[in-house]
Amino acid sequence: MQRIFIFLYSLSVCIFAMNPLAAIAIASKEQQDGKNDLRILELLPNLLSPLAVDPAIPADFIALSPKGTLDPYDWIYWGPKDVLKAYFENPTSLKVSVLRVKLSANVAQTDPNSFHKGFVEPLKMLQQKDPKGFASIETQWGDYPIVAIRTKMEGHLIFMAWVGLNDPGAGWTLVFNLVYPDKKGHPNKKDRQLWESLIMKTTQLKDGDYFKACGQDLQEGYTLVNVGGAKLKMVAEKRQSDGTLQVVVIPESSGVEFHYVDMMECLMGAKWKYGEPMVKVYGEIVVNNESVKSTTDYISSIFFKTVPEFSFKKEDGKKLLIFQKSCDKTD
């Protein structure tokens, strides 16, 4: 199965120069150790361009890496814990299929439903080399476009899929690969079912879970923000007497700063909680790690509470980030 690199190399004609910090923030091990109640956040943590889906994979599948830390630039493996650990120690021990995923370095999404045209030519070449065995399908996980293929190389069947992350700035995609036992009789029916279930039955998350997977856990009066492992709590209130909005930003992980730019009162435009009043806060999230400083332009949405007096006072600004503005509502 290690022959997969041959196929990746054939797609190098469409490599894009991408800013790595546009895809993830460099999260510390402490930030990665936090638990989430959404499965996809455990399987693919700390993506700035997240994949907000409920993956159709077995309940006992977890995410592990041979290197310990889950790094989306390198293969992250999904499978039963004991199976993955044994596989990392001895690849020939694999008796059941597992999955692996990483950010693609050579396939870019260019439109909401399509990939870079340079991606098409290598697929045509593969089809010409294996006209009977080659198969491809285009589908979607909600808003996420997918191209999945099956082809044969050097006697081995290869199953791969690319999923666009809907990042118009960088065009990031994820690449998935089925890893099956390198033994006679494989891939068998069960191996194929694992792959087909992932591709055809995975669904996009809905309502609040979708926003949470995208890094904003919207609650009444506050939003928990998670941007590539950088965590903040943003509290919003509107004073009854004069309509002034106040936003309090509380960093919840070390080395995280928020640089405020502006805020705007508006109404929720999504189907979930449509029309509810909220405030959008514009600014930059800055992460200072040991060797890397990253800055991300960010817009956070918060369902504010209307109160007679603000819960946080200006004098609390020595410990917290407090911003106020009197502004007209914008639909």
Instruction: For 259-277, write each residue's pLDDT tens digit.
Output: 999 999 999 999 999 999 9
Q: Are 173 and 164 in contact (CB under 8 A)?
A: yes
Contact 52, 204 (CB under 8 A): yes
The pLDDT-based confidence of 303 (bands split at 50, 70, 90) is very high
Q: How high is the pLDDT of residue 52? A: 96
pLDDT at 327: 67
**For 9-18, 75-84, 149-158, which range has the lowest pLDDT when averaged over its residues?**
9-18
Could you tell me the residue range of the domain that residue 284 belongs to?
Answer: 215-326
pLDDT beyond 80 at 324: yes
Give yes or no: residues 11 and 98 share one domain. yes
Looking at residue 328, its pLDDT comes to 57
Q: Are residues 171 and 219 part of one domain?
A: no
* pLDDT score, position 290: 75
pLDDT surpassing 50 at residue 7: no
Residues 191 and 246 in one domain: no
Per-residue pLDDT at 39:
96
Residue 5 CA, distance from chain mean position: 24
Of the candidates 216, 244, 253, the one whose C-alpha atom is nearest the C-alpha of residue 307 is 244
The pLDDT score that the predictor gives to residue 190 is 96
pTM of the model: 0.83
- Residues 216-243 have a mean pLDDT of 94
177 lies in some domain: yes
Establish if 51 belongs to a structural domain: yes
Per-residue pLDDT at 35:
53
Domain co-membership, 20 together with 53: yes
If one counts every other C-beta atom within 10 angstroms of the C-beta of residue 105, the result is 17
Q: Which two tokens stand for residue 242?
A: 């004069």
Name the DSSP class of 143.
T
Confidence of residue 317 (pLDDT cuts 50, 70, 90): low
**Mean pLDDT, residues 282-290:** 89
Residue-averaged pLDDT of the chain: 85
pLDDT at 228 (0 to 100)? 81
Beta bridge partners of 224: 217, 233
Is pLDDT at 10 greater than 50 in this prediction? no
For residues 202 and 228, state if they share a domain: no
Are 114 and 256 contained in the same domain? no
- Domain boundary among the residues 164, 180, 207 is at 207
Indicate if 63 and 186 belong to the same structural domain.
Answer: yes
Which residue has tokens 């879970």?
209
With respect to residue 189, please indicate whether it lies within any of the assigned structural domains: yes
Q: Cβ(148)–Cβ(136) under 8 Å?
A: yes
- Asked, for residue 301, whether it belongs to a domain, the answer is yes
Does pLDDT of 75 surpass 70?
yes
Q: What is the DSSP letter of 31?
A: H
Examine the domain organization and report whether 229 and 201 are in the same domain: no
pLDDT value at position 156? 86
285 and 169 within one domain? no
Q: Is residue 331 part of a domain?
A: no
Given a cut of 60, whether residue 82 has pLDDT beyond it is yes
Count structural domains, the chain.
2
202 and 76, same structural domain? yes
Statement: residue 45 has pLDDT above 80: yes
Q: Assess whether 186 and 106 both reside in one domain.
A: yes
Of 207, 226, 252, the position where a domain reaches its end is: 207
Top pLDDT among 326 and 43 is at: 43
Least confident of 82-91, 147-156, 301-310: 147-156
Domain presence at residue 163:
yes
Domain end point (choices 207, 229, 247): 207
Report yes or no on 53 lying in a domain.
yes
- How far, in Å, are 30, 229, 317 from residue 257 at the CA level? 17, 13, 14
CATH number at residue 287: 2.60.40
Taking only the tens place, the pLDDT of each residue in 150-196 is: 988 877 899 999 999 998 888 999 999 999 999 999 999 999 999 99
Q: Of all residues in the chain, what percent carry a pLDDT higher than 70?
A: 86
Would 158 be classed as within a structural domain? yes
Q: Does 115 lie in the same domain as 57?
A: yes
Mean pLDDT for 60-86 is 96
